[in-house]
Chain A
Amino acid sequence: MHELTAILVSMVLSATPLLLAAAGELVTEKSGVLNLGVEGMMIGGAVIGFAVAWTTGSPALGFTAAALAGVALAALFGVLTLFFLANQVATGLALTIFGLGLSALIGKPYIGKPLPSLPQLYIPGVTDIPVIGPLIFGQDAIVYLSVAATVAIGWFLSRTRAGLILRSVGENHDAAHALGYPVRRIRFLAVLFGGAMSGLGGAYLSLAYTPLWSEGMTAGRGWIALALVVFATWKPWRLLFGAYLFGFFSIAQLHAQGAGVSIPPEFLSMLPYLATILVLVIISRDAKRIRLNAPAALGKVFRATA
């Protein structure tokens, strides 16, 4: 029972950065922009969040700064792709390479410095309920924020006028432009939002999941978040399911390592990456479903003609 609780609670911890980054990217992609720089924005958020939290002693300031760092990096991407009409795939890769380099540079003085972990919710009596108590009523604030943000995004995209406009821009930018919607501005905002969420996700890694900074600590999570968006076929509530499923697999392998399973740890560590490939294959196999669900203008360059 105790073991199960530990697995489930850490599953949520490991899923949270993925969920934050993937939810942000989902909004970006719904507006028709494919930003492959999630990994770069996450690591940027991780390092800035850590540096600010360590200097000021305030995790809240750390998370705020991380979100802003994500926004700044995303703005770079947005200007290049939306105003300089650069190739989105190449620019996203550039953002990742740049983010990894810059974060290593900024983070050098902070290597090996520990931070206290985030405070967790505690409601006397309720949090003490076995399994469900710590799982649902004993997490830190960002976990609740990530779930709330995902639900809010689902509501925004399907139930509000602004969300509908954002989706129309992602489906057919020429039609949206003809209707008088400011395509570039809407896309730019969606890109910035994605950056903020990736920054938060990165900061969750360096401030909560493993409260310390190490170079390249995102370890491909930005790319896994991108895969999760495909897995969710661009639907926020499926993202929630996907992220926790993924969190479960990564934690299960860690627990297996801890329990001394006779498989070499390197092979267990491969599991999250192999699982990502497997999931992508299963979802993408049905090409028709991907075509029906993916934003039709995803990755296409928009140039106002009149």
Chain B
Amino acid sequence: MPRIRLEPRAQSSRWATYLSPVLAVVLTLIGTAVLFGILGRDPIAAYRAFFIDPLSTFYGVGELGVKSAPLILCAIGLAIGFRANVWNIGAEGQFIVGAICGGGVGLFYEPMLGPATLPAMFIAGALGGLVWAGIPALLKTQFNANEILTSLMLTYVAELLLRFLVRGPWRDPQGYNFPQTKAFDGYAVIEPFFSGTRVGLGAVLALIAVAGGWFLLSRSFLGYQIKVIGLTPAAAAYAGFSQKRITWFVLTLSGGLAGIAGVNEVAGPIGQILPVISPGYGFTAIIVAFLGRLHPFGILLAGLLIALSYLGGEAAQISLDLPVAVVGVFQGMLLFFLLACELLVRYRVRLGPATAESAA
């Protein structure tokens, strides 16, 4: 039997860079077909319900924008951090705190602020997310505490804070005791672009984030520092790039973006603050970031695909009685295949014994 060997590529392969996410998507589709089969559903019908039916209406296409906007906003920030080897996995918490801060402004200061309400909400939300991500940054740079664990723990804290506010002090007195705030009104509402859909400002903000992320990473000195620190920390240190400064920057940037996404979600599609305001956008954004190969344009495409999987999950729940949890399995499987296909980018797969040249 020939031995399988891996030869590192001197330069990551260009075709493999583009092909590996496509290959991962294809493998995931095969995997989900098997899953549908196990669940006793016709895979073809399930595919249709999952990926085609949601886009067959104008409303459905709008929903794609609604669902992809928060994913892309969060994923752009996360990807920039991942490039610098800073692992913020608490975007969900930053999203929630952003929604709380921005939502609070919208709920209580709308009469005072008038037309300035919405900008004030976004500023408050961005600051909220920024501060929430600033805590892991502070703990990382000052106390060397692992940002993965601290940012994640803060997500649980944020969820509990939201639940407290919505059940307690912010509960709508006219809401029949339901744990929800009153609906945003007047200047605090983000109106949809087209009647009959829910897509609005969020989609535009997401596109701006993509363009901004691209500029930062490919056209700015700061982006260059981020990439060097991520690839070779030692070289970055010789060049005098400050690891601490970059850690602060990428964490607060991603927190701010997640916060903006949170404000948009409550003031736009949801229209009020509920105890649960996200189906895990902040976590799923991690998958989006990787599926987009940590590149802003890739993230745009990945965000649309994952948003479609959310829509498909909702549709399949109704039409095929499939549990929503299928979406999580689909997303997890996709990430696994993606990580496995990553191998093709960095290595050549060869059969046969090592040559003298490759062993050297």
Give the tally of cross-chain contacts (CB within 8 A): 140
From A76, A80, A101, A215, residue with most partner B Cβ within 10 Å: A101
Determine whether B305 belongs to the interface, using a CB cutoff of 8 Å to chain A.
no
Closest chain B residue to A288 by CB distance?
B144
Closest chain A residue to B342 by CB distance?
A86
Determine whether B6 belongs to the interface, using a CB cutoff of 8 Å to chain A.
yes
Q: Output the least CB separation between B266 and chain A (Å).
A: 19
Q: Output the least CB separation between A33 and chain B (Å).
A: 15
Stretch in B48-56, B101-109, B161-169, B243-251 with 4+ CB within 8 Å of A: B161-169
- Please give, as numbers and ranges, the residues of chain B lying within 8 Å of A97 by CB-CB distance: 283-284, 286-287, 328, 331-332, 335
Q: Output the least CB separation between A284 and chain B (Å).
A: 4
- Please give, as numbers and ranges, the residues of chain A lying within 8 Å of B146 by CB-CB distance: 227, 230, 280, 284
Q: Output the least CB separation between B40 and chain A (Å).
A: 13
* Chain B interface residues (CB < 8 Å from chain A): 6, 8, 87, 89, 139, 143-146, 148-150, 152-154, 156-157, 160-161, 163-164, 167-168, 283-284, 286-287, 290, 323-333, 335-336, 339-340, 342-343, 346-347, 354, 359
From B139, B144, B354, residue with most partner A Cβ within 10 Å: B144
- Please give, as numbers and ranges, the residues of chain A lying within 8 Å of B328 by CB-CB distance: 97-98, 100-102, 104-105
Scan A218-241; emit 1 where CB is below 8 A from any B CB, else 0. Answer: 011001001100100000000000
Scan A192-233; emit 1 where CB is below 8 A from any B CB, else 0. Answer: 000000000000000000000001000110010011001000
Cβ-neighbour of A280 out of B8, B87, B145, B336 (below 8 A) = B145
Cβ of B164 and Cβ of A76 under 8 Å apart? no
- Residues of A in contact, count (CB < 8 Å): 47
Determine whether A93 belongs to the interface, using a CB cutoff of 8 Å to chain B.
yes
- Please give, as numbers and ranges, the residues of chain B lying within 8 Å of A281 by CB-CB distance: 139, 143, 145
Closest chain A residue to B150 by CB distance?
A277
Q: Output the least CB separation between B3 and chain A (Å).
A: 11
With known contacts A97-B335, A277-B154, A280-B150, A105–B160 Cβ distance under 8 A:
no
Show 15 A/B contacts (Cβ-Cβ < 8 Å), sorted by A.
A85-B347, A94-B332, A97-B287, A98-B328, A101-B327, A102-B332, A104-B325, A108-B323, A220-B156, A227-B146, A264-B168, A270-B157, A274-B153, A277-B149, A303-B6
* Chain A interface residues (CB < 8 Å from chain B): 36, 76, 80, 84-87, 89-91, 93-95, 97-102, 104-105, 108, 215, 219-220, 223, 226-227, 230, 264, 266-267, 269-270, 273-274, 276-277, 280-281, 284-285, 287, 290, 303, 305-306
Q: Output the least CB separation between B52 and chain A (Å).
A: 22
Cβ of B339 and Cβ of A87 under 8 Å apart? yes
- Please give, as numbers and ranges, the residues of chain B lying within 8 Å of A290 by CB-CB distance: 144
Cβ-neighbour of A99 out of B145, B332, B343 (below 8 A) = B332
Whole-angstrom distance between the alpha carbons of A267 and B160 in the complex? Answer: 7
Cβ of B323 and Cβ of A104 under 8 Å apart? yes
Cβ of A86 and Cβ of B335 under 8 Å apart? no
Q: Would you list the 5 A-B pairs with minimal beta carbon distance, nearest first?
A: A101-B328, A98-B332, A104-B325, A266-B164, A94-B335
Q: Output the least CB separation between B102 and chain A (Å).
A: 20
Q: Output the least CB separation between B302 and chain A (Å).
A: 14
Cβ of A305 and Cβ of B359 under 8 Å apart? yes
Cβ of A98 and Cβ of B343 under 8 Å apart? no
Cβ-neighbour of A306 out of B139, B143, B286, B354 (below 8 A) = B354
- Please give, as numbers and ranges, the residues of chain A lying within 8 Å of B139 by CB-CB distance: 277, 280-281
Q: Output the least CB separation between B151 and chain A (Å).
A: 10
- Please give, as numbers and ranges, the residues of chain A lying within 8 Å of B144 by CB-CB distance: 284-285, 287, 290
Q: Output the least CB separation between B61 and chain A (Å).
A: 26
Cβ-neighbour of A105 out of B87, B150, B161, B323 (below 8 A) = B323
Cβ of A105 and Cβ of B342 under 8 Å apart? no
- Please give, as numbers and ranges, the residues of chain A lying within 8 Å of B324 by CB-CB distance: 104
Closest chain A residue to B324 by CB distance?
A104
Closest chain B residue to A282 by CB distance?
B143
Cβ-neighbour of A84 out of B143, B160, B323, B339 (below 8 A) = B339
Cβ of A80 and Cβ of B150 under 8 Å apart? no
Whole-angstrom distance between the alpha carbons of A219 and B284 in the complex? Answer: 17
- Please give, as numbers and ranges, the residues of chain B lying within 8 Å of A284 by CB-CB distance: 143-146
- Please give, as numbers and ranges, the residues of chain A lying within 8 Å of B152 by CB-CB distance: 220, 223
Cβ-neighbour of B325 out of A95, A108, A226, A306 (below 8 A) = A108
Cβ of B325 and Cβ of A105 under 8 Å apart? yes
Closest chain A residue to B152 by CB distance?
A223
Q: Output the least CB separation between B254 and chain A (Å).
A: 15
- Please give, as numbers and ranges, the residues of chain B lying within 8 Å of A86 by CB-CB distance: 339-340, 342-343
Cβ of B342 and Cβ of A227 under 8 Å apart? no
Cβ of A273 and Cβ of B156 under 8 Å apart? yes
Q: Output the least CB separation between A179 and chain B (Å).
A: 19
Whole-angstrom distance between the alpha carbons of A97 and B339 in the complex? Answer: 14
With known contacts A84-B343, A274-B153, A93–B160 Cβ distance under 8 A:
no
